[in-house]
Structure 1
Amino acid sequence: MMENKQILIAQNDHSVKDDIDKLIYALQQYNLVYNYNFLYFSNKFLDPQTQKINYKHPDGWIYNDGGNGAQISLDGETCRIVTSYDQNPTMTFKQALHEFPRWKSILLGKPVTAKVHLSLSNNCDLSVTLSDGIASSCKHFQGEEAGDYIVELHLDINATAEKLYIEIKSTSISAVIKITKAYANLGNIAIENLPCIVNGFIGERKQYISTEIPPATELSLCEESVELSDSYSRLNSVLNNKFGTGKNGNSLLPDMRGYFSRAWDNDSTTDPDAANRTALGKGNVSGDHVGTVEEDQYKQHDHQLKFNINGQVIGGTSAPSTIINITSGSKTEKSGGAETRGKNISELYTIKWS
């Protein structure tokens, strides 16, 4: 009996050690999900007609439901989605987790575990999927009762995978889905409070004085405007076509070459012409909004010309005449260069994508 007990203890010790090793490994990883708790909604705006905040999608996420009655919003601390009331609706809410430099050397052949915290307020058909395009881990809800759920998914990433994404999908009519958080990391344990693999904010603009080459996690804004490829879906969700849309339907990067930056006026009237600001490039935003443009100009003014029109010229036997003709206009001589500017230093402007 003593011998059997010692063997059992040894087996338990081995199991505990395995669990500790898994935990230690997971604690050394990063959260692959950007904006995992939906703090950032840069696309929300105040509707001037209803005076209510409208939402499009949280930063980093791709939301699709073109049907009638479809809604997405921030409800307290949760992302609230209402599917459309059309027949045969399909709502998808997903994020690409592989969008960072050298992701293949980090993810391929490795285990990834994810957790999604969600709440269903009515019966609905729903699926939560972690997929690399070759294999997937999926949890299906088919007419599940209302309630709170924590879905855990585990996937060994295929060695030849070209992507990794997490997706929530529903085909139910007028389903109400609340998602509190979604996180994923390398290893066999998903940990919520890991630092995100994106260090900073996607869409953040940066500037450099000593290089003309952007870092690997940023794209240059000092080049001709180009369309984002499908590899930048998280940045695309932030830009949301503010600076125009390319032929493939993705956002155009803004072309900031030669521009100075100015703080958003936001109805302060410090910028007296804010209402007349125009869109940058092929953008669709004008007026007193972030990302709009003003062309250079002088502030309206005049110059005093110092001369005396009371003097007279004596022309021999002719009648005296004034020095100048005050009925015709005159101009000062041209001076200056090609534009109005202050002293400045040229810098590289970039935008963060990962």
Structure 2
Amino acid sequence: MELTRRDVVRSWLLGSGCLFAMPSLAEDNTVGKPVVFAEKIHPKSDITDLLDDALEECSKKRLGAVVLPAGEYYAKSIKLRHNTKLIGMGASSTRLIARSRSEASAFLTIDEGPVVRSGAKGLSLIGGTNAKPFNPGQWAFHAEARPEPGAKLAHGGLWQSLFEDIEIRGFSQGVHLDGGGSSTLLPNQFLSFREFFVFLTPEPTGPSMKVTGQSAQTIFQQCQFDCQGSRSPYPTVEIGPSERSGRVAPAVLRFEVCTFQNARYGALLKNTQNVSFETCWFEQLDGGVEVGEGCSAVTIEGCRFANAGNIDPAVSFAPGTQGAVRSNVFAGKETRVSRRFGAKADVVDENNSFFWGAGK
């Protein structure tokens, strides 16, 4: 039995997202024999349109999820929709691969207008080999908050969504959570990232995670932000004001048991508030966490800085900033300076430990 494009879309949408298309008894007298979608397409065929149709239909009918079986799938770009999750069989099993020479600025994007209760789970996003991206300068995921054309109110952004068991490889830049610059109607908010791993190629063109504009109430748990084969000139995580019109900056972000490696900085913050790093690991960095101008209520607690201050301090607060540095471990000779606080920086600095030649 051959599957049509419509059959394949239906196979993804049955129930909450069926793994298989089931042939009718009139077509096949073997009761319960599944037709595996992955066996019905050429290994290198482009599923951009098929997947887009499935996500659109799932959103319109409120079916909840589009489920991809284990396998490799090629696409130019993928757009997440409102009320629809994209689910695979695990990051090592379901691999979405970006087409080379694609003109898309990002492989994974979000729809215009509010995209609520969306997200992805159990997938790998592959943008090239470990050594070289197919499309240099392409984001693996760009969540750009945009209003729906013609809408009376400029609502938009990604809300109440979870990204879990995701691995990103082969891209020269990772994720950009791009909230609105001034309007209160364009936030990225109420987001969770868990077991989310980003490994950039050598010679990256941007950070592993970038959070700008109106972005808030977001948690990162057991995530890794890394660069393969080199030390990135960019921070692994960059948080700051919108690059669009207006200067709204992120707030209320939490990083818990996350790893930051192989970069100029582990995290670079500007004009942001209520950001916490709790029980995180920083290693092989020229500078650890740099809390730049205009920041307040930044907490760094229970973290480990291992050779994470080769050029700049492992933790630095710019003049006039505010926060707390508590119960951290600074280790290794390449952590030359552990902490530096600028003039009139109001920082609680207590119960920190120093090992194996780390400077104080």
Report the TM-score when normalising by structure 2. Answer: 0.25
Is the helix fraction higher in 1 or 2?
1
Report the TM-score when normalising by structure 1. Answer: 0.25
Is the strand fraction higher in 1 or 2?
2
